[in-house]
Amino acid sequence: MNYLKSLSLLFIVFSSVNVLPAKIRVLLIDGQNNHNWKATTPVMVDILESSGSFKVTVSTSPPKKSEAAAWAKWNPKFNSYAVTVSNYNGEMWPKEVQDNLTNYVKGGGSFVVVHAANNAFGQWKEYNQMIGLGGWGGRNEKSGPYLFYNDLGKLVRDPRPGRGGSHGPQSEFIVQVRDFKHSITKGMPQKWLHSKDELYDSLRGPAEKVKILATAYSEKSKKHEPMIMTISYGKGRVFHTPMGHADYSMKCIGFQEVLRRGTEWAATGQVTSELPLDFPTERKVSSQ
């Protein structure tokens, strides 16, 4: 009888282990950035892994002005991961790595763009199609329209001449949800206060198959700028947030939940996390 009980207990234990959901495998790219990636990458890893839903591997590119041999050794295996997160803004990747990312996303892979990663690769056509909108890097009206919401709550696609990418002084700002049905923003307050950050404005790009889920009003541009976006590229899903300038910006509970939800959505097409009780309100910042 004791032997049978032991077998039963072992069966229960192994069954419990087997039904635990597998963690989403994330590849995070860094190594060059005009922002402090050495400070923000650990925060991003902690945001994702502390939820218990993700396992993150960091791939660090060679530093600026590296020899070709160093770049030849750096070849991230995008296909080995459910989703790739970019914290990179620097020199152009080797052609093989460019093609691998393009084919990965186009074939059904997932990509997440955070803050200055949308500054990267202004002349890389496929990258700009993937991220929808970007700033700096030589972007202007030739890169595509400037997307924003007007005061009437209407999406505007402005093709007039102008630079792509700008921001005013860092500050706290209100994020306004525009799409409450999408799983990334579902359940969020209509307006919530984000901690000190750079509020990007005047982003431009191909803007193909872009859904803007939330905006923030820029005192500099006097327009409601995209803050949470999804993009369809081929068979793949892309999540894009211009928020996240520094480690202190990323400690905002709102940003953390946006990153977790956006990454899960990109990887799986759904969101399973519940909104935390300490999520920011319209009047109150909530930071870790």
Flag whether 19 is in a domain: no
Using CB atoms within 10 Å of the CB of residue 186, give its burial: 0 to 12 exposed, 13 to 18 middle, 19+ buried. Answer: middle
pLDDT at 10 over 80: no
User: Which pLDDT score is estimated for 21?
Assistant: 77
Q: What is the CATH number of the domain that holds 93?
A: 3.40.50.880
Is pLDDT larger for residue 158 or for residue 13? 158
31: left (phi over 0), alpha (psi -120 to 50) or beta: left
Amino acid at 20: L
User: Which pLDDT score is estimated for 288?
Assistant: 86
Expressed in percent and rounded to 5, the helix, strand and coil fractions of the chain are 30, 30, 40
Using CB atoms within 10 Å of the CB of residue 71, give its burial: 0 to 12 exposed, 13 to 18 middle, 19+ buried. Answer: middle
Flag whether 276 is in a domain: no
**Interval 220-230: pLDDT, tens:** 999 999 999 99
Flag whether 287 is in a domain: no
3-state secondary structure of 233: strand
Question: What DSSP state is assigned to residue 189?
Answer: -
pLDDT at 271 over 70: yes
User: Which pLDDT score is estimated for 1?
Assistant: 47
As a whole number, the mean pLDDT across the chain is 94
3-state secondary structure of 126: helix
Flag whether 281 is in a domain: no
pLDDT at 194 over 80: yes
Segment 255-271 mean pLDDT? 98
- Nearest residue to 267 via CA among 226, 242, 230, 241: 230
Q: What pTM did the predictor assign?
A: 0.93
pLDDT class of 9 with cuts at 50, 70, 90: low
Flag whether 16 is in a domain: no
User: Which pLDDT score is estimated for 14?
Assistant: 46
Q: Distance between CA atoms of 158 and 139, rounded to whole angstroms?
A: 14
Residue 15 half-sphere exposure toward CB, CA atoms < 13 A: 6
pLDDT at 90 over 70: yes
Flag whether 17 is in a domain: no
Segment 48-54 mean pLDDT? 98
Count structural domains, the chain.
1
Using CB atoms within 10 Å of the CB of residue 60, give its burial: 0 to 12 exposed, 13 to 18 middle, 19+ buried. Answer: middle
Segment 248-275 mean pLDDT? 97
Flag whether 1 is in a domain: no
pLDDT class of 20 with cuts at 50, 70, 90: low
Residue-number span of the structural domain to which 127 is assigned: 24-268
Q: Distance between CA atoms of 50 and 42, rounded to whole angstroms?
A: 12
pLDDT above 90: percentage of residues in the chain: 92
- Nearest residue to 257 via CA among 212, 209, 180, 194: 194
Flag whether 185 is in a domain: yes
